[in-house]
């Protein structure tokens, strides 16, 4: 019994104390010196830390097991990789094998590396039904007596997230009526610092022919949901004999600040690019106070490209595909034969170019995708061209919003919001009367496994890459006279918890995509529009929205 009391004191010393266990109560009297099994136990409070290390993890396991009341259990669930936020501390699953619901509260405790306890708090009370429950944010609406260690700095308290380090997070379940401890659970979590933004397009060393190129990048990762970075963009000319890494420190040829999205289209009002010159670019991610949010002072690597005047896209064949001589269509712009931008050296083989039977629309002026700015009458109409603009160079892509961009694990369900436009409701060539031949159809593809194609090969769960299949839209049911509607798709499972993936959204009139063997993004359609995006995942809290990488 004496030994067990000593073990419990040691465990309490670890879990409750602040500042490396320096203030633990004395163990004198609890663990007698003459007991050979505890001969190394100290008799003063300053050696509590080494004492715990001497007894090892076994003591923690013994005392945790002894803390469980009969019929109760508490499991601390796994937070997102490489990050830890205050809300993760109450991500617990509680088992209640009693016959009646019980009102409980949680005591939350967090210890970091050699600092000891760095945060503790008590939650409001909530009910655990028979069988148990998984605690969510709707259960924990108030933290009482929340205490942050001053060694974390003010940033942790403001952002409700914790800096890099190794943490032990514990949750105790107490009965609210008499504060009796029912169960306790602990879990370790390593937090790594966020990596800098990663440049995507134009790829390093690209030849760019568009006088107003589009730039895109991936946000720092991982970032806690509470951090909403903005970006500083810098473009410099690389003079003869200079390296891009040196040139970027010079005076900017063009710059932009306060960018919320992870993309930028070079402004027509900016200084024109000079043909046959080389340029380099870089982005920096900062928070609302201008403080860098990742390693390398929030700065990305440096990419360079050569500008060759020609008016075409930065890539592609530059020639109409077979059977399409002289024809003009509306195309997608996902990489078809160039680097996919995933950072894994995968070549994008998304069918986009006419030569590969890339998806294309003869007439995109009757139905198209897009969220209008300032009213439906301002909705931009897509244009037609003889070839896909490779890569990611369509002038307008704003037809898609993802309901949730942050997922703790793969195979979580979400849905999309698509902006759908029609030119007019009384079009005699495109009647909207509710019949199958006169419905709009929406299809979505996503390269969840990042292998550069839209197929289901190599998937680790049931998250299909053809995630929205011929979802019908009946314009006749829209409010009278309206020509724009925000459409919510059915729910589907995602197969990638982080990074960015290439997605294709296709809208058609009276024509369904694919067939019994699926759909890989190919085909010709009479009308409608296709938009391709490199969409970033795992950046914000569930329920937030984020612009695409385009």
Using one digit for the tens of pLDDT, what is the confidence trace for 240-275? 999 999 999 999 999 999 998 888 888 877 889 999
Report the alpha-carbon distance of residue 464 to residue 455 in Å, rounded: 8
Judge whether 103 lies within some domain.
yes
Considering the domain architecture, whether residues 347 and 484 belong to the same structural domain is answered as yes
pLDDT of residue 24: 37
Judge whether 287 lies within some domain.
yes
Considering the domain architecture, whether residues 414 and 530 belong to the same structural domain is answered as yes
Judge whether 474 lies within some domain.
yes
pLDDT of residue 153: 60
Final residue in a domain of this structure, among 191, 222, 242? 191
pLDDT of residue 315: 30
Q: How many residues does the chain have?
A: 550
Considering the domain architecture, whether residues 279 and 342 belong to the same structural domain is answered as no
Judge whether 376 lies within some domain.
yes
Digit-coded pLDDT (tens) for 451-504: 899 987 555 566 789 989 999 999 999 988 888 888 999 988 887 655 678 889
In terms of pLDDT, which residue wins out, 499 or 519?
A: 519
Considering the domain architecture, whether residues 166 and 262 belong to the same structural domain is answered as no
Considering the domain architecture, whether residues 335 and 247 belong to the same structural domain is answered as no
pLDDT of residue 244: 94
Q: Please state the pTM of the whole predicted model.
A: 0.45
Mean pLDDT of the chain: 75
Considering the domain architecture, whether residues 250 and 149 belong to the same structural domain is answered as no
- Calculate mean pLDDT across residues 226-252: 92
| DSSP state at residue 428 | S
Band of the pLDDT at 338, cuts 50, 70, 90?
A: confident
Percentage of the chain beyond pLDDT 90 is: 30
Please write down the HEC assignment for all residues of 359-381.
Answer: CEEEECCCEEECCCCCCHHHCCC
Whole-angstrom CA distances from 225 to 33, 80, 541 are 51, 11, 5
- Domain interval for residue 218: 198-307
Considering the domain architecture, whether residues 291 and 154 belong to the same structural domain is answered as no
Digit-coded pLDDT (tens) for 59-112: 444 444 445 688 999 999 988 777 788 888 889 999 999 999 999 999 999 998
Q: What does the angle CA 230 – CA 199 – CA 197 come to, to the nearest 5 degrees?
A: 40
Report the alpha-carbon distance of residue 109 to residue 122 in Å, rounded: 9
Domain count, the chain: 4
pLDDT of residue 50: 40
pLDDT of residue 388: 59
Long-range Cβ contacts of 289-293 (<8 Å, 24+ apart): 293/194, 293/220, 293/223, 293/227, 293/229
Considering the domain architecture, whether residues 373 and 512 belong to the same structural domain is answered as yes
Considering the domain architecture, whether residues 117 and 179 belong to the same structural domain is answered as yes
Considering the domain architecture, whether residues 288 and 423 belong to the same structural domain is answered as no
Judge whether 548 lies within some domain.
no
Final residue in a domain of this structure, among 191, 217, 240? 191
Judge whether 453 lies within some domain.
yes
Final residue in a domain of this structure, among 19, 50, 65? 65
Q: What is the maximal distance between C-alpha atoms in the chain?
A: 99
- Backbone φ, ψ for residue 15 (5° rounding): -80, -30
Report the alpha-carbon distance of residue 437 to residue 64 in Å, rounded: 65
pLDDT of residue 237: 95
Judge whether 94 lies within some domain.
yes
C-beta of residue 367 within 8 angstroms of C-beta of residue 507:
yes
Digit-coded pLDDT (tens) for 12-63: 444 443 333 333 333 333 333 333 333 333 334 444 444 444 344 334 444 4
Considering the domain architecture, whether residues 186 and 211 belong to the same structural domain is answered as no
Considering the domain architecture, whether residues 52 and 81 belong to the same structural domain is answered as no
| CATH code for the domain of 286 | 2.60.40.10
Judge whether 293 lies within some domain.
yes
Please say if the pLDDT value at position 155 is more than 70.
no
């Amino acid at each position: 019994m004496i030994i067990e009391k000593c073990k419990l004191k040691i465990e309490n010393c670890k879990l409750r104390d602040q500042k490396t266990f320096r203030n633990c109560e004395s163990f004198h009297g609890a663990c007698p010196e003459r007991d050979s099994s505890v001969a190394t136990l100290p008799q003063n409070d300053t050696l509590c830390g080494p004492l715990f290390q001497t007894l090892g993890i076994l003591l923690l396991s013994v005392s945790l097991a002894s803390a469980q009341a009969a019929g109760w259990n508490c499991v601390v669930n796994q937070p997102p990789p490489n990050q830890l936020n205050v809300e993760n501390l109450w991500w617990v699953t509680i088992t209640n094998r009693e016959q009646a619901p019980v009102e409980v509260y949680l005591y939350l405790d967090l210890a970091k590396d050699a600092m000891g306890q760095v945060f503790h708090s008590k939650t409001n009370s909530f009910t655990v039904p028979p069988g148990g429950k998984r605690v969510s944010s709707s259960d924990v609406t108030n933290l009482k007596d929340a205490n942050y260690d001053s060694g974390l700095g003010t940033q942790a308290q403001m952002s409700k997230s914790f800096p890099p380090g190794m943490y032990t997070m514990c949750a105790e379940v107490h009965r609210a009526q008499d504060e009796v401890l029912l169960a306790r659970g602990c879990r370790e979590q390593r937090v790594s610092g966020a990596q800098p933004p990663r440049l995507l397009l134009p790829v390093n060393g690209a030849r760019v022919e568009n006088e107003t190129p589009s730039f895109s990048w991936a946000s720092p990762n991982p970032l806690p949901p509470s951090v909403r970075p903005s970006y500083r963009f810098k473009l410099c000319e690389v003079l003869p004999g200079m390296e891009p890494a040196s040139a970027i420190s010079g005076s900017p040829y063009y710059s932009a600040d306060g960018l919320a999205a992870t993309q930028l289209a070079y402004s027509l009002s900016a200084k024109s690019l000079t043909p046959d010159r080389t340029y380099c670019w870089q982005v920096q991610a900062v928070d609302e106070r201008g403080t860098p949010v990742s390693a390398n002072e929030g700065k990305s690597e440096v990419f360079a490209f050569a500008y060759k005047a020609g008016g075409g896209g930065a890539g592609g064949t530059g020639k109409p595909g077979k059977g399409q001589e002289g024809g003009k269509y509306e195309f997608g712009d996902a990489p078809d034969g160039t680097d996919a931008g995933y950072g894994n050296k995968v070549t994008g083989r998304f069918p986009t170019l006419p030569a590969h039977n890339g998806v294309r629309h003869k007439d995109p002026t009757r139905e198209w995708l897009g969220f209008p700015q300032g009213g439906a009458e301002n909705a931009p109409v897509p244009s037609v061209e003889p070839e896909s603009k490779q890569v990611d160079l369509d002038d307008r892509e704003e037809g898609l919003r993802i309901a949730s961009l942050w997922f703790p694990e793969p195979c979580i369900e979400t849905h999309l919001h698509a902006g759908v436009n029609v030119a007019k409701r009384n079009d005699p060539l495109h009647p909207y009367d509710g019949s199958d031949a006169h419905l709009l159809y929406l299809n979505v593809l996503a390269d969840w496994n990042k292998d550069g194609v839209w197929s289901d090969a190599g998937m680790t769960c049931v998250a299909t890459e053809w995630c929205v299949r011929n979802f019908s839209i009946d314009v006749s049911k829209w409010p009278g006279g309206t020509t724009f509607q925000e459409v919510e798709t059915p729910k589907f499972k995602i197969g990638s918890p982080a990074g960015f993936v290439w997605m294709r959204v296709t809208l058609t009139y009276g024509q369904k995509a694919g067939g019994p063997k699926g759909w890989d993004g190919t085909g010709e359609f009479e009308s409608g529009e296709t938009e391709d995006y490199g969409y970033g995942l795992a950046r914000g809290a569930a329920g937030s929205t984020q612009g695409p990488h385009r």
